[in-house]
Chains A and B, each alone.
Chain A
């Protein structure tokens, strides 16, 4: 009985010694965006020079982050596409609130753009709002354009 205790006990103690620091610095991040499809309705360009989506809700939470920075980014999958027609994704801008931590920006498919950033923890689930906008031009082809947006909440 005493031999058994001597064999297992040190092993468990070793797990605790190596395990504790890793657990203490591993962030726990939560992210949810609704709705899953963000729609921008049509409008006469002379009457509605900028068309806007209804605000989408971003729910996020950051835990076990100590005093490290965290960021929420968005990356477009490409240009807006409707059959053979397309609109450069850089024509699409957004307005996000509250500021801080949210900031306004322009979509890109080349590099992830920062939507929000902060330091430390966000102890309770927090909400932000993001509204996408497009300058409504007569030169665009009529159609229903779509593109996927990848939001990523990360901490180093």
Chain B
């Protein structure tokens, strides 16, 4: 009889087994997609009238536009900034080839160039993600043969990563 009482006592005091430190493992997943953002310090350029002999290349006003290109792309992927004119410079029925506009450039990755109607011209190239800034300074080739008029053209910039 004494033995049975002792066994019951042991069962009552043990309860559920103790546990040590408890671990839980989770996976953290961060999805960083590709993004691009392009901004210019000015969206308009003006080339004032000038005597072709005195000013054979008319500088734009403002003299330089600052380009800020932000891109997130995969590792070592190429990033391109190009520009394409909507057509030739136009004043009513009069036209002047877009190639009369050229630019010099400052900033890492930016290159000088000349506008070509119907074709994207490289403004800058980089590799991988990053925020880059540089300047473009446009000049207009001023010739006596250009008919008088107020000419305009739209430039389309494209920032891409193939």
Contact = CB atoms under 8 A, between A and B. Distances in A.
A146 B28 contact: yes
Contact of A142 (B3, B23, B32): B32
Interface stretch (A16-24, A97-105, A119-127): A16-24
Report the interface size class on chain B.
Answer: 35 or more
Contacts of A5: 2-3
Interface string A29-52: 111110111111110111000010
Contacts, number: 161
Contacts of B16: 28
A31 B32 contact: no
B10 A12 contact: yes
Interface in B113-162: 128-131
A27 B26 contact: no
B113 to A, nearest CB: 25
Contacts of A16: 6, 9-10, 13
A117 interface: no
Contact of A141 (B21, B26, B32): B32
Contacts of A141: 32, 72-75, 128-129
B43 interface: no
A139 B22 contact: no
Contact of B28 (A13, A40, A140, A143): A40
Nearest to A8: B3
A68 interface: no
Contacts of A37: 26-29
Q: Top 9 closest A-B pairs, CB basis?
A: A26-B18, A42-B33, A154-B21, A31-B22, A145-B30, A141-B75, A40-B30, A33-B24, A29-B22
